[in-house]
Chains A and B, each alone.
Chain A
Amino acid sequence: MLMGMSTETVNPVRMSRAIAHAVLHDLSGSQGRAAEPLATSSFLRLIDMYRRNSFEDERHLGVLEKDNFQDLNVGHVSDLYERLRKILDETIRQFDNDDPMQFATHIYDLLAPFAKNGRSTLTGPDLAQLTEFLKKLTASLKNA
């Protein structure tokens, strides 16, 4: 082996940041008209996981199955999902809304059309709110 892999599995915190960043980049570059559909779908799964509060479900990976105790920089996969949930929750709560679930659903609805074929039209406050949310989220995930 040339060198050891940094992790044996996907780090959900880092991967979520990469995905959020890609979606943000697409939306900004197209003025809200395009976002790559698969990355958008992945992001929607994340939002959906938040709405259903099913982060526990993804912690099944467990220390024996995936964690190899070598990647001391990131901790165990089972802990990372909890960290991801907290960051998403904190980011959503930064926005002026009474109901975080409602806000999450709003974000989901804005992005959902892009997941089909990568095209939709977002303008004005919707685009501004979505890009603001993605910016805050990527920044928080970077510091996680």
Chain B
Amino acid sequence: MLDPKGFLLVECQNVEQILQESLRYRYSEDVAAKYYTECFARLGSIVNGIKSVPMDEPDLLQDWREQLGTLSVLITHIERSHLEEFPWPFAFELERVAHDICAHYARTKDVLFFFMADGSPISYAVRGDEFLTVRRSKIYSVFFPRTLKDYVLLHAIFGHEVGHVISLAAGASEKKGSEISDVEMDLFADSRFATIDGFYEWCRANIGVLSKASDSYLKENLKSWRREIFSDLFGLLMMGPSFLYAFQSLLAPMYAPDQKLAFVPRHPPYPLRMVILHQAAEYLKMFYGDEGGDAAKLFRKLDKEFRATAKPFLNSEFAVVRDDKIHAAVSSLQKLMEKYDKPSVLYQRPENALLSELIKSLKKHIPPVGPKQINGDGSLQPLQLVDFRSIIHAGWITWAQRSADNKNDDLDDVSENVSESERFRTLNRFCAHAIMQQGGIRRLLDYQLKEERKNNQ
């Protein structure tokens, strides 16, 4: 028989063995090395902790056992994370954009992002280590739905998940006084959700809630709703208009309009979120087609689609949050996100000409890499880096225009016998490919800049 301490030390040995083996799996080498170093350091700390527990204090072992369990789960996740199961170029761009703001709110410079694919469309998530995890770096685990591997247009929804990380790390929703919690707390002020009773009455009248349960349960739900809406607004500001289309595409199938029992713990109902997103996008003037001219040609179809899906809810019982509160939240968030500009966390609207160029490529079945120039020797050279969010935006516009053109463009000529779902997948793959190529372009431009500097010295 093994005593508890002996068993845990055996288990530590096993975890070390798994850690050694996990390096052989298909994960990029430099990333694997970072995780290996971090996990190995954590394991060392846990072994030391277990060894320090005296025989007469077995209770202390429980906490080290939990730490060891958490570490084992993390390592097995890494072991099962395969680059070919999620769009890694998108993942790395997401990390590049989200790193600084996540590090700021986690109050550490040592932040690692770990990616893996799992489950279905509801699996989208970004989760961070708990406060008291023995660690050197803070690890954020990013979960892509395994089934949606190629669908970078839908992955615009990750803006929402990054919003959750920021909200949780900032400890928002609990008290006033910090910039993020102020944004969340003010959202429901002067609305029916300003009090627990008002919130319950609204849920009873509109989404079939039958019982009040307890005040603490309602309070926690209200807090979660605030956090969800905060994350939606964060996602919109981070990913731009593509967030609206990804949101609508992913969440509409989960909403049953005739179903009265629409209460889902922790999440506000889809129509309520649609209203808020619509009002926020109007305030941000994100329906660019309203500008007329070239912009109308580019954006109007897509704008119209989203407005049509939001319209039934706009003057309904789901329009609970006051417009001025939504505007204030968006403005405050914008100011807060502006500080993180290398690269910019905020979505930067590209020139219409650039979007047109990207769309032109997509219609010709060419990954929308961006403008190029032809050198004297006939070789092609990229002129500029294109933000991955612009590529995704171009993808959504192309998708909307394809339907509008009614089989008149190149994409349709080629795809006459191909199903709608296959066409959407193909479009996503072109965009994913273009995002991947930005990594190469970045390296080339960096190299050219270095050479230029060297020559000028």
Using CB atoms and an 8 Å cutoff, list the residues of chain A in contact with chain B: 5-7, 9-12, 14-19, 21-22, 25-26, 36-39, 41-42, 45-46, 49, 54, 56-60, 62-65, 142
Contact = CB atoms under 8 A, between A and B. Distances in A.
28 contacts: A5-B69, A6-B62, A9-B130, A12-B131, A12-B132, A15-B63, A15-B67, A17-B60, A18-B53, A19-B49, A21-B52, A21-B57, A22-B49, A36-B45, A36-B49, A39-B48, A41-B134, A41-B136, A56-B171, A58-B131, A60-B171, A62-B220, A62-B224, A63-B216, A63-B217, A64-B224, A64-B265, A64-B266
Contact of A26 (B48, B70, B168, B223): B48
A interface SS class = helix
A40 B170 CA distance: 23
B173 interface: yes
B interface SS class = helix
Contacts of A9: 130
B: interface residue count bin = 35 or more
Contacts of B221: 64
Contacts of B322: none
Contact of A56 (B41, B48, B64, B175): B175
A10 B132 CA distance: 7
A26 B47 CA distance: 13
A16 B132 contact: yes
Interface string B52-73: 1100010110111011011000
A59 B45 contact: no
Interface of B: 41-42, 44-45, 48-49, 52-53, 57, 59-60, 62-64, 66-67, 69-70, 130-136, 168, 170-175, 216-217, 220-221, 223-224, 265-266
A42 B134 contact: yes
Contacts, number: 106
B49 A60 contact: no
A10 B130 contact: yes
B72 to A, nearest CB: 13
B243 to A, nearest CB: 24
